[in-house]
Homo-oligomer: A and B are copies of this chain.
Amino acid sequence: MRDTNEMEVIFDSCSSNERFARVAVAAFLTQLNPTVEEVSDVKTAVSEAVTNSIIHGYDQEIHKIRIQCRIDQNLFMVVVKDEGKGIEDIAQAMMPMYTTRPELDRSGMGFAFMEAFMDKVEVESALGGGTTVRMEKTIGKGRNLWTTQSL
Protein backbone atom coordinates (compact mmCIF):
# COMPACT_ATOMS: atom_id res chain seq x y z
CA MET A 1 0.00 0.00 0.00
CA ARG A 2 1.04 3.60 -0.53
CA ASP A 3 2.00 5.52 2.60
CA THR A 4 -0.59 8.23 2.10
CA ASN A 5 -4.22 8.10 1.14
CA GLU A 6 -7.00 10.67 1.10
CA MET A 7 -10.74 10.83 0.95
CA GLU A 8 -13.38 13.44 1.39
CA VAL A 9 -17.08 13.05 1.96
CA ILE A 10 -19.73 15.74 1.72
CA PHE A 11 -23.29 15.14 2.90
CA ASP A 12 -26.53 16.75 4.00
CA SER A 13 -26.59 17.78 7.66
CA CYS A 14 -29.48 15.54 8.66
CA SER A 15 -29.09 13.27 11.63
CA SER A 16 -29.76 10.15 9.55
CA ASN A 17 -26.39 10.83 7.87
CA GLU A 18 -24.50 10.64 11.15
CA ARG A 19 -24.31 6.86 10.95
CA PHE A 20 -23.28 7.02 7.33
CA ALA A 21 -20.47 9.47 8.13
CA ARG A 22 -19.19 7.27 10.95
CA VAL A 23 -19.14 4.17 8.76
CA ALA A 24 -17.45 5.99 5.87
CA VAL A 25 -14.68 7.26 8.13
CA ALA A 26 -14.32 3.89 9.86
CA ALA A 27 -14.16 2.02 6.55
CA PHE A 28 -11.37 4.32 5.36
CA LEU A 29 -9.55 3.91 8.67
CA THR A 30 -9.48 0.10 8.38
CA GLN A 31 -6.49 0.42 6.04
CA LEU A 32 -4.39 1.14 9.11
CA ASN A 33 -5.53 -2.13 10.68
CA PRO A 34 -6.87 -0.58 13.89
CA THR A 35 -8.42 -2.45 16.81
CA VAL A 36 -12.16 -2.32 17.44
CA GLU A 37 -11.43 0.11 20.23
CA GLU A 38 -9.43 2.47 18.02
CA VAL A 39 -12.24 2.41 15.48
CA SER A 40 -14.81 3.24 18.16
CA ASP A 41 -12.67 6.08 19.48
CA VAL A 42 -12.49 7.68 16.04
CA LYS A 43 -16.19 7.06 15.40
CA THR A 44 -17.16 8.69 18.68
CA ALA A 45 -15.03 11.75 17.99
CA VAL A 46 -16.37 12.13 14.44
CA SER A 47 -19.91 11.67 15.69
CA GLU A 48 -19.54 14.43 18.24
CA ALA A 49 -18.14 16.83 15.67
CA VAL A 50 -20.85 16.00 13.12
CA THR A 51 -23.62 16.34 15.72
CA ASN A 52 -22.23 19.74 16.65
CA SER A 53 -22.35 20.86 13.02
CA ILE A 54 -25.94 19.65 12.68
CA ILE A 55 -27.26 21.05 15.94
CA HIS A 56 -25.15 24.10 16.71
CA GLY A 57 -23.62 25.03 13.36
CA TYR A 58 -26.74 24.74 11.25
CA ASP A 59 -29.48 24.87 13.93
CA GLN A 60 -30.89 21.70 12.35
CA GLU A 61 -31.41 23.29 8.95
CA ILE A 62 -30.14 21.15 6.07
CA HIS A 63 -26.81 22.29 4.64
CA LYS A 64 -23.55 20.52 3.76
CA ILE A 65 -21.02 18.97 6.12
CA ARG A 66 -17.59 18.03 4.79
CA ILE A 67 -15.28 15.42 6.28
CA GLN A 68 -11.73 15.10 5.02
CA CYS A 69 -9.56 12.14 6.00
CA ARG A 70 -5.89 11.65 5.40
CA ILE A 71 -3.65 8.74 6.25
CA ASP A 72 0.08 9.32 6.47
CA GLN A 73 1.95 6.21 7.62
CA ASN A 74 0.12 5.29 10.83
CA LEU A 75 -1.20 8.78 11.50
CA PHE A 76 -4.91 9.28 10.89
CA MET A 77 -6.14 12.85 10.36
CA VAL A 78 -9.78 13.82 10.12
CA VAL A 79 -11.29 17.25 9.56
CA VAL A 80 -15.00 18.00 10.08
CA LYS A 81 -16.15 21.24 8.54
CA ASP A 82 -19.40 23.19 8.42
CA GLU A 83 -20.28 26.61 7.08
CA GLY A 84 -22.67 27.33 9.89
CA LYS A 85 -22.92 30.07 12.44
CA GLY A 86 -19.51 29.56 14.03
CA ILE A 87 -18.27 29.82 17.62
CA GLU A 88 -17.65 33.12 19.37
CA ASP A 89 -15.35 31.95 22.17
CA ILE A 90 -13.61 28.68 21.25
CA ALA A 91 -11.79 28.24 24.56
CA GLN A 92 -15.05 28.54 26.46
CA ALA A 93 -16.89 26.23 24.03
CA MET A 94 -14.24 23.56 24.59
CA MET A 95 -14.60 23.57 28.37
CA PRO A 96 -16.17 20.37 29.70
CA MET A 97 -19.86 20.80 30.59
CA TYR A 98 -20.14 24.08 28.68
CA THR A 99 -23.14 24.09 26.37
CA THR A 100 -25.24 26.79 24.76
CA ARG A 101 -28.14 24.38 24.25
CA PRO A 102 -29.03 22.86 27.62
CA GLU A 103 -32.67 22.86 26.50
CA LEU A 104 -31.78 20.25 23.84
CA ASP A 105 -30.37 17.94 26.51
CA ARG A 106 -26.81 18.64 25.44
CA SER A 107 -24.24 17.64 28.03
CA GLY A 108 -21.47 20.00 26.95
CA MET A 109 -19.10 17.04 26.75
CA GLY A 110 -18.65 16.82 22.97
CA PHE A 111 -15.25 18.52 22.75
CA ALA A 112 -14.14 16.75 25.92
CA PHE A 113 -14.89 13.38 24.27
CA MET A 114 -13.05 14.39 21.10
CA GLU A 115 -10.03 15.32 23.20
CA ALA A 116 -10.24 12.11 25.22
CA PHE A 117 -10.47 9.80 22.23
CA MET A 118 -8.10 11.52 19.81
CA ASP A 119 -4.45 12.52 20.25
CA LYS A 120 -5.00 16.07 19.07
CA VAL A 121 -8.01 18.33 18.51
CA GLU A 122 -7.84 21.80 16.97
CA VAL A 123 -10.82 24.05 16.40
CA GLU A 124 -10.96 26.94 13.97
CA SER A 125 -14.10 29.03 13.94
CA ALA A 126 -15.47 32.51 13.54
CA LEU A 127 -18.94 33.89 14.11
CA GLY A 128 -20.78 33.55 10.82
CA GLY A 129 -17.76 31.88 9.24
CA GLY A 130 -18.35 28.22 10.00
CA THR A 131 -16.39 25.77 12.11
CA THR A 132 -13.51 23.42 11.31
CA VAL A 133 -12.48 20.68 13.74
CA ARG A 134 -9.13 19.00 12.99
CA MET A 135 -8.31 15.78 14.81
CA GLU A 136 -5.42 13.34 14.75
CA LYS A 137 -4.79 9.89 16.12
CA THR A 138 -1.83 7.57 15.71
CA ILE A 139 -3.10 4.06 15.10
CA GLY A 140 -1.32 1.00 16.49
CA LYS A 141 0.61 2.73 19.23
CA GLY A 142 2.41 0.08 21.25
CA ARG A 143 1.61 -2.60 18.71
CA ASN A 144 5.28 -3.50 18.23
CA LEU A 145 5.17 -4.41 21.87
CA TRP A 146 2.48 -7.01 21.15
CA THR A 147 4.48 -8.52 18.32
CA THR A 148 7.50 -8.80 20.56
CA GLN A 149 5.39 -10.38 23.30
CA SER A 150 3.93 -13.03 21.08
CA LEU A 151 7.33 -14.11 19.70
Contacts and interface: CB of A to CB of B under 8 A. Distances in A.
Interface in A1-54: 1-2, 5-12, 14, 16-17, 19-20, 23-24, 27-28, 30-31
Query: From DSSP, what is the main secondary structure of chain A's interface residues?
Result: mixed
Count copies of this chain in the complex: 2
A90 interface: no
14 contacts: A1-B16, A2-B16, A5-B11, A5-B14, A6-B12, A7-B9, A8-B10, A8-B11, A9-B10, A9-B24, A17-B28, A20-B28, A20-B30, A23-B23
Interface of A: 1-2, 5-12, 14, 16-17, 19-20, 23-24, 27-28, 30-31, 62
